[in-house]
């Protein structure tokens, strides 16, 4: 054996030993976070509200979520984080920084929709805690103080107020939500008390401008783009603008047996044409815009009565608010034509609108670079769903990391992201946090 060969063999041997040690410690080579620890936590969290058919029902403000919150609080404490709960019930786990700087905030939520999945929220929440543990393992000291956050009632499945906790933190929601009552007669205030909070101090949960250096949220995509392209990391360009309308088509209710076909003013037939027109308009240009009619009700709603009234919703989303406006103009024009042809009158009223929340370019770059350094390919894409980070983007630069959703399914028991994809996302979050710590607020 020549000395060169010996040197090579020794190097290979040492490398193999290092790999084997990393594997024994549960770390893939090049990963700072522990996939095993992450998976164990996510699996344990799935026990809270587990459905017999898989997935969870763990609504915000429920006994089940209360138990899950205790589990998360314990994880944070075990990770040595300084735990606090704000007046909106948001949970923060702090890790100090070396400098007097605004906080780097990252996390998600742990509430679910009814019959929801195990990844929407939990990945970003437990992922944030895993980042803290990995930083501890590596004895990293950051310049910025860090906080892992679990926001309250993101889904809004309870009380119909989505992104409740982050909305209060962003100052968008206030004491007007306290009296909102659920089907059981409980109010938001009642639930905040059960969370150990004083509802009268709700506005104290508002985060002052300048207090947060950046907000980063890791989340499953909930759509098929990454999964179908086999790309592990999505860099979110922004959260789309959203508008919702409630439309009512009014015709004439009449006897289904005695009213000739050519004498009908059928509000449901008109609405059917309207909703297909919505789809046509949305499909008529390229891009990632979406439009949905998710609710319809025909009245009186009997098999033997021609509907005199039909109510339906229209929802349009795109990263560009102007495109939403342009599509809506075209839809209104189409509805007007259909109204005339059907002898029906249709009125639409705006019920919801969310401005787009654009990803900060510095954060998008940091996520790209973080993924690149871990050898992971990225795709730029908008988020069609709203997220807590979008609320906080009103007061701090925002970035989001997406990982693939199998078959694009979410809000359902079949929601699934492979453990490897989960670990990739958390690793990119770890590296993004460290990059931002270096790049933001330079000394």
Residue ranges that bind its own copies, judged by CB under 8 A: 221-225, 240, 242, 244, 252-263, 266, 268-269, 271-273, 275-276, 279, 282-283, 288-298, 300-307, 313, 315, 317, 351-352, 383-386, 408-412
Minimal distance in Å, beta carbon 306 to its own copies? 6
Q: How many CA atoms lie within 13 A of 103 on its CB side?
A: 20
DSSP 3-state of 205: helix
Q: Which is nearer to its own copies, 312 or 430 (CB)?
A: 312
Nearest distance in Å: CB 185, its own copies: 23
Least distance from its own copies to the Cβ atom of residue 381, Å = 10
Distance separating alpha carbons of residues 209 and 212, to the nearest angstrom: 7
Contact criterion met (CB below 8 Å) for 415 and 404: no
Secondary structure of 318-379 as H, E, C letters: ECCHHHHHHHHHHHHHHHHHHHHHHCCEEEEEEEEEECCEECCHHHHHHHHHHHHHCCCCEE
Closer of 96 and 287 to its own copies (Cβ): 287
- Find residue 50's DSSP bridge partners: 56
Tokens describing residue 27: 């770390």
Query: DSSP 3-state assignment of 109?
Result: strand
CB of 268 to its own copies, least distance (A): 6
**Which CB atom, from 269 or from 371, has the smaller least distance to its own copies?**
269
In whole angstroms, how close is the CB of 313 to its own copies at the nearest point? 4
3-state secondary structure of 325: helix
**Closer by beta carbon to its own copies, 94 or else 117:** 117
Q: How many CB atoms lie within 10 A of CB 312?
A: 23
**The token pair that represents 198 in the structure block:** 């004083």
Q: Which is nearer to its own copies, 89 or 251 (CB)?
A: 251
Q: 221 or 388: whose CB is closer to its own copies? A: 221
Min dist CB 109 to its own copies, Å, is 15
User: Could you tell me the sign of the dihedral formed by the alpha carbons of 222, 393, 349, 316, in that order?
Assistant: negative
Shortest Cβ distance from residue 145 to its own copies (Å)?
Answer: 33
In this complex, which beta carbon is closest to its own copies, that of residue 180 or of residue 288? 288
From 443, 441, 442, select the one nearest 213 (Cα to Cα). 441
At its nearest, how many Å lie between its own copies and the CB of residue 186? 22
Strand partners of residue 116? 56
- Is the bond into 300 cis (omega within 30 degrees of 0)? yes
φ, ψ (nearest 5 deg) of residue 320: -100, 115
Of the two residues 45 and 241, which places its CB atom closer to its own copies in the complex?
A: 241
Tokens of 44: 């344990």
């Amino acid at each position: 054996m020549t000395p060169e060969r010996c040197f090579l063999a020794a190097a290979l041997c040492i490398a193999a030993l290092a790999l084997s040690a990393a594997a024994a410690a549960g770390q893939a080579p090049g990963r700072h976070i522990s996939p095993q620890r992450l998976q164990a936590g996510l699996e344990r969290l799935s026990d809270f509200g587990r459905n017999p058919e898989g997935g969870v029902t763990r609504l915000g403000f429920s006994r089940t979520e209360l138990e899950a919150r205790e589990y998360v609080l314990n994880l944070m404490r075990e990770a040595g984080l300084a735990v606090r709960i704000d007046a909106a019930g948001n949970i923060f786990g702090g890790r100090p920084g070396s400098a007097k700087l605004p906080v780097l905030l990252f996390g998600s939520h742990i509430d679910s929709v009814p019959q929801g999945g195990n990844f929407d929220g939990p990945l970003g929440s437990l992922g944030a805690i895993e980042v803290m543990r990995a930083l501890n393992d590596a004895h990293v000291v950051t310049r910025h103080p860090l906080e892992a956050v679990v926001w309250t009632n993101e889904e809004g499945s309870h009380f119909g107020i989505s992104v409740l906790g982050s909305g209060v933190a962003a100052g968008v929601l206030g004491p007007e939500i306290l009296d909102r009552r659920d089907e059981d007669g409980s109010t938001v205030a009642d639930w905040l008390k059960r969370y150990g909070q004083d509802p009268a101090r709700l506005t104290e949960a508002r985060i002052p401008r300048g207090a947060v250096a950046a907000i980063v949220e890791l989340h499953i995509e909930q759509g098929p783009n990454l999964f179908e392209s086999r790309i592990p990391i999505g860099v979110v360009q922004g959260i789309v603008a959203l508008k919702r309308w409630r439309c009512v088509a009014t015709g004439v209710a009449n006897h289904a047996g005695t009213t000739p076909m050519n004498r009908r003013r059928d509000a449901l037939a008109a609405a059917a044409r309207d909703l297909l027109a919505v789809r046509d308009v949305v499909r008529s240009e390229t891009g990632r815009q979406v439009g949905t009619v998710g609710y319809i009700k025909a009245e009186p709603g009997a098999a033997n009565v021609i509907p005199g009234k039909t109510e339906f919703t229209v929802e349009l989303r795109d990263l560009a608010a102007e495109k939403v406006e342009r599509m809506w103009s075209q839809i209104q024009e189409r509805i007007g034509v259909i109204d005339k042809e059907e002898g029906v009158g249709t009125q639409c009223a705006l019920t919801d609108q969310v401005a787009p929340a654009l990803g900060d370019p510095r954060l998008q770059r940091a996520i790209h670079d973080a993924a690149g350094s871990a050898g992971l390919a990225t795709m730029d894409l908008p988020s069609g769903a709203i997220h807590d980070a979008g609320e906080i983007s009103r007061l701090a630069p925002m970035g989001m990391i997406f990982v693939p959703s199998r078959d694009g399914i979410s809000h359902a028991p079949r929601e699934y992201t492979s453990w490897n994809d989960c670990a990739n996302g958390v690793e990119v979050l770890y590296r993004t946090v460290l990059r931002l710590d270096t790049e933001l607020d330079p000394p």
